[in-house]
Amino acid sequence: MTRRRLVVSADDFGAGAAVNEAVARAHREGILTNASLMVTGDAVEQAVRLAHELPALGVGLHLVLAQGRPAAPRQDVTRLVRHDGRFPDAPVSTGFRYAWLWLSRVGRAQLRTEIEAQLSVFARTGLRLSHVDGHLNMHLHPMVLPILIDLAPRHGVRAMRLTREPLVRAVRHDGKHVLRRTLEGTVFGALARFARPRLAAAGIAAPVRVYGMHQTGEVDEPYVKSLLGDLPDGTSELYCHPSLGSAGALERYQPGYRNDGELAALTSPAVRRAAEAAGVELVSYHALAVAPSHSLGTA
């Protein structure tokens, strides 16, 4: 019988001290098993130090190509950044910008330079890479994903987040923001269909299903408990954004996020009991990468 397993992951590790402290607490006291590291985050040094103190915590690369700064020298990625040396903020227009850059040999080269720079910075932390995902899920961009797949063998990338989530279940839990969620579901459904065969061909594992996208900033206790009761077979992922306070430089991009509520859900004894009662095994991305037969389902 196929086991039901769940990776519980926190994004934006390294963005700020409050995020880092929430990740450490959610792992030590709760159900968090994985975190995604922003290698150019304002508090990345603290995040790396904490990660070395938490050997059971899986840590992956949270690839940043918007709402942040590059890892490569500014002069090497001039086509990707604004006049202030930072990536643009708006995710949709940035996505179209990268599609346009793909028509330029220089643009393609600079995008590859930045992606490889972030992978290289992660390698220098001394942490074992659990997987790759992206801030704003930019890793699934059709111009970004092929570069990641090409670089994967050199940098030990064995798993990636394949972001798509059943819309009906999300709306049944919370009927708000139906239009936004429908758009998200349509876009990421298409991106997942593009990515799935390419990841499979490269031998890169991915969860059978990913949760949290439609509930971004509101992954509360009722949501997590309801999710645990009806996970599919195989390895799924729930990602969230816990913080003990201000999320640092990212706070202005997260209006309405209830980061402290997400931390409360991750550390809730009732949630832990619900996972045990449902027979759900909590694992990190490392477990998925060594057992790819549980990945890349058709859901």
The pLDDT tens digits of the residues spanning 201-245 come to 999 999 999 998 878 788 999 999 999 988 999 999 999 999 997
What CA–CA distance (Å, rounded) separates 162 from 210?
Answer: 7
Is the model's pLDDT at 299 over the cut of 50? no
Matching residue, tokens 């604004």? 82
In this prediction, residue 221 carries a pLDDT of: 95
Among 9-18, 129-138, 290-299, where is mean pLDDT lowest? 290-299
What CA–CA distance (Å, rounded) separates 216 from 188?
Answer: 14
Indicate whether this model's pTM tops 0.85: yes
DSSP string, 273-293: HHHHHHTPEEE-HHHHHT-GG
In this prediction, residue 257 carries a pLDDT of: 81
* Residue 248 region by backbone torsions, left for phi larger than 0, else alpha for psi between -120 and 50, else beta: left
Is the model's pLDDT at 91 over the cut of 60? yes
In this prediction, residue 175 carries a pLDDT of: 59
Where would I find the beta strands (DSSP E) of 68-208? 129-134
Q: What is the CATH number of domain 4-294?
A: 3.20.20.370
In this prediction, residue 297 carries a pLDDT of: 47
Assigned token pair, 40: 């150019």
SS3 114: helix
SS3 6: strand
SS3 75: helix
Assigned token pair, 169: 């279940």
What CA–CA distance (Å, rounded) separates 210 from 235?
Answer: 9
Residue predicted with more confidence, 294 or 26: 26
In this prediction, residue 172 carries a pLDDT of: 66
Comparing C-alpha atoms, which of 196, 165, 207 is closest to residue 291? 207
- Where in the chain are the domains? 4-294
Phi, psi angle pair for 63, to nearest 5°: -65, 125
Helix (H) or strand (E) holding 240: strand 234-240
What CA–CA distance (Å, rounded) separates 261 from 35?
Answer: 17
Helix (H) or strand (E) holding 235: strand 234-240
* DSSP-derived pairing of the beta strands 281-283 and 34-37: unpaired
Instruction: Let me know: does 210 contact 165? Beta carbons within 8 Å.
Output: yes
